[in-house]
């Protein structure tokens, strides 16, 4: 009994120490954000909505299946609006219209966190496919990566940004951008929630494979930073994300929005129908308001 109490006390001390370290880091990042945000052009919701050019949007993760898409199909996809997130910043495939900035490293206390953040933002700054991207930056006290990216001036100041918050206490997509974007399992949820709120009537998810841990810019046996292998399902594959997006597909369908997955092998195909091609879909030139 005494040993159990000692272990419990030690665990509480470690947890308290971790929370204290996280608080200090978050406070520093948030303070820097407050001083640095005035250097950027921050879009309001009306300005953001005016950037939509099509009725169909493609949401891109970073799975290796992106390497299987042909050049001809990339050009067809590029007729529609595009959203990237996380490390899609490595891409050279097509123009990226919106990029969601949230999860960059394993944890906010990773020793290499700031170096990784600088690399990430440098890729945004130098990638010609991101020359006119709207940067969707997570904000709020806990948004360490977004706060530092702005506070340290790492994002290119000529790019427009939109600030949004994560909502962790919801199962369904939020009903307004002002409320925030739903997040429980991963940034993909926020991307899809954003797509539903922006007025796109067709959402296609690409590069979210989940059956392995391979990434499009790495070799087939090269693990991503923070991992040790490319084998085995992605941790989000068994997290509840697959069922969550299946439920969201039903939610969106009731509101006139279709949702598809591009890769037929993706674990998402268990609950989300597979996209059958761009023919007959709305293009950027035919797009929305």
pLDDT per 10-residue tile (average), the chain, 289 residues: 61 67 92 97 98 98 97 96 97 98 82 92 98 97 96 97 95 96 95 98 98 95 87 81 97 98 97 79 37
Give dist(CA 22, CA 13) in Å, integer: 14
The CATH topology of domain 2-286 is sialyltransferase cstii, chain A (3.90.1480)
| pLDDT at res. 27 | 95
- Classify burial at 110, counting beta carbons within 10 Å of its beta carbon; exposed 0-12, middle 13-18, buried 19 or more: middle
pLDDT of residue 287: 39
At 197, list the tokens: 């709120």
CA distance 96 to 133: 6
Give the pLDDT score at 20. 80
Whole-angstrom distance, CA of residue 97 vs CA of residue 135? 9
- Regarding pTM above 0.85, the answer is yes
Sign of CA dihedral 117, 122, 128, 133: positive
Return d(Cα 22, Cα 280) in angstroms, integer. 49
Contact (Cβ atoms closer than 8 angstroms) between residue 204 and residue 71: no
Q: Is 164 helix (H, G, I), strand (E, B) or coil?
A: strand
Between CA 148 and CA 163 the distance in angstroms is: 13
Residue with tokens 């879909």: 281
Q: What is the model's pLDDT at position 110?
A: 82
pLDDT at 239: 86
pLDDT given at position 120: 97
């Amino acid at each position: 009994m005494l040993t159990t109490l000692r272990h419990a006390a030690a665990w509480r001390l470690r947890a308290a120490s971790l929370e204290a370290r996280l608080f200090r880091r978050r406070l520093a990042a948030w303070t820097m954000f407050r001083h640095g945000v005035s250097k950027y052009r921050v879009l309001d919701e009306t300005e953001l909505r005016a950037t939509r050019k099509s009725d169909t949007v493609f949401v891109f993760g970073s799975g290796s299946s992106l390497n299987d898409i042909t050049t001809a199909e990339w050009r067809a996809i590029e007729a529609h609006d595009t959203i990237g997130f996380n490390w899609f910043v490595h891409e050279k495939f097509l123009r990226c219209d919106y990029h969601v900035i949230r999860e960059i490293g394993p944890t906010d206390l990773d020793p290499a966190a700031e170096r990784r953040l600088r690399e990430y933002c440098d890729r945004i700054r130098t990638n010609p496919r991101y020359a006119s991207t709207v940067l969707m930056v997570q904000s709020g006290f806990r948004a360490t990566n977004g706060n530092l990216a702005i506070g340290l001036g790492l994002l290119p100041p000529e790019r427009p940004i939109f600030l949004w918050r994560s909502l962790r206490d919801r199962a369904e997509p939020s009903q307004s951008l002002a409320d925030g974007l739903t997040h429980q399992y991963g940034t993909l949820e926020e991307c899809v929630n954003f797509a539903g709120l922006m007025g796109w009537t067709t959402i296609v998810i690409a590069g979210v494979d989940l059956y392995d841990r391979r990434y499009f810019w790495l070799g087939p046996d090269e693990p991503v930073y923070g991992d040790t292998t490319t084998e085995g399902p992605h941790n989000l594959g068994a997290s509840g994300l697959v069922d969550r997006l299946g439920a969201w597909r039903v939610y969106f369908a009731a509101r006139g929005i279709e949702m598809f997955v591009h890769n037929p092998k993706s674990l998402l195909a268990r609950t989300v129908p597979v996209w059958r091609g761009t023919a007959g879909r709305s293009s950027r030139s035919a797009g929305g308001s």
